[in-house]
Amino acid sequence: MAANPEFFEMEVRLRPGTADDATACGRICYDAFGAISAQHNFPPDFPSVEAAEQLCSGLLGHPGFYSVVAESAGRIAGSNFLDERNSIAGIGPVTVDPGIQNQAVGRRLMEAVLERVADKRLPSVRLLQAAYHNRSLSLYTKLGFVAREPLSTLQGTPPKVRLPGHEVRSATIEDLPSCNRLCLQVHGHDRGGELLDAITQGTARVVERDGRIVGYTTIIAFFGHTVGETNDAVKALIAAASEYPGPGFHVPTRNAELFRWCLEHGLRVVQPMTLMTIGLYNEPAGAYLPSIFY
């Protein structure tokens, strides 16, 4: 997309996002991700402008998300979000109008949320980065992020298989303490804020073995995360899904057993991703699927 000359040499200011920004932020989010994915011949993250607007509207209206908007010449030029639902924060999506690239707007949006992390004394902040996007990888590295895990985003038809001894059901509020303990066991922290939202929305599921919860998922999807004691627990949740909303779900590529099982059951790689972090990070002691936030 050609650069918009009206943006050049104009002062950019940052401010908190509001619900009224959803349409403009959604349009930029759709255009920005669409432009970079098309440039590298990958499918877009959002199927339509409406889908991107719906996401931005949800994030701007959620009390657990901090938002920052960039403005230039009275028009929105980009936005960024910080997921504050848990003690570990997640960043994204960060997007800049394709017509104002190379003006350091993305850096400023990232620095703004990192300042928020510092002000709140959060122990860690994380994000997922499209591995084919060299510029974002370079920017995040210069800002202090460390690449922790290569990921493969997978999509396809859920395999119609059952894992012996594993029973999957919808999660309830009563499951929250057990799921939080499981996440603490695997990651060293819980993600109860996200899980509570997912239970309320009716998307969360748990898998039991011998009457004990051994895994859970907020949803097997781009924006969902999954935790399991074993690969079999995660496989059971993947297989029990009716579909994988959005571009797909993220599998740690180093988990060869789980990755191979997905491929052998007809799932395909859509794109490579990288999990990056600043601050506290524990090597996971179990199986997991990260969300696009982390």
What residue segments make up the domains of the chain, in order of their start?
Answer: 5-122, 154-272+280-289
CATH superfamily entry for domain 5-122: Gcn5-related N-acetyltransferase (GNAT) (3.40.630.30)
The predicted pLDDT at position 254 comes to: 98
The predicted pLDDT at position 153 comes to: 98
The predicted pLDDT at position 11 comes to: 85
Lowest mean pLDDT among 9-18, 173-182, 189-198: 9-18
Q: Does pTM surpass 0.85?
A: yes
Query: Are 96 and 109 within 8 A, CB to CB?
Result: yes
- Tens of pLDDT, residue by residue over 179-215, are 999 999 999 999 999 999 999 999 999 999 999 999 9
- Tens of pLDDT, residue by residue over 24-82, are 999 999 999 988 888 888 888 899 999 999 999 999 999 999 999 999 888 999 999 99
Same CATH topology for 5-122 and 154-272+280-289: the answer is yes
CATH superfamily entry for domain 154-272+280-289: Gcn5-related N-acetyltransferase (GNAT) (3.40.630.30)
- Tens of pLDDT, residue by residue over 205-260, are 999 999 999 999 999 999 999 999 999 999 999 999 999 999 999 999 999 999 99
The predicted model gives 85-108 an average pLDDT of: 91
Cα separation, 245 vs 266, in Å, equals: 17
- Tens of pLDDT, residue by residue over 140-154, are 999 999 999 999 999
Asked whether residue 6 carries a pLDDT value surpassing 60, the answer given is no
Asked whether residue 4 carries a pLDDT value surpassing 80, the answer given is no
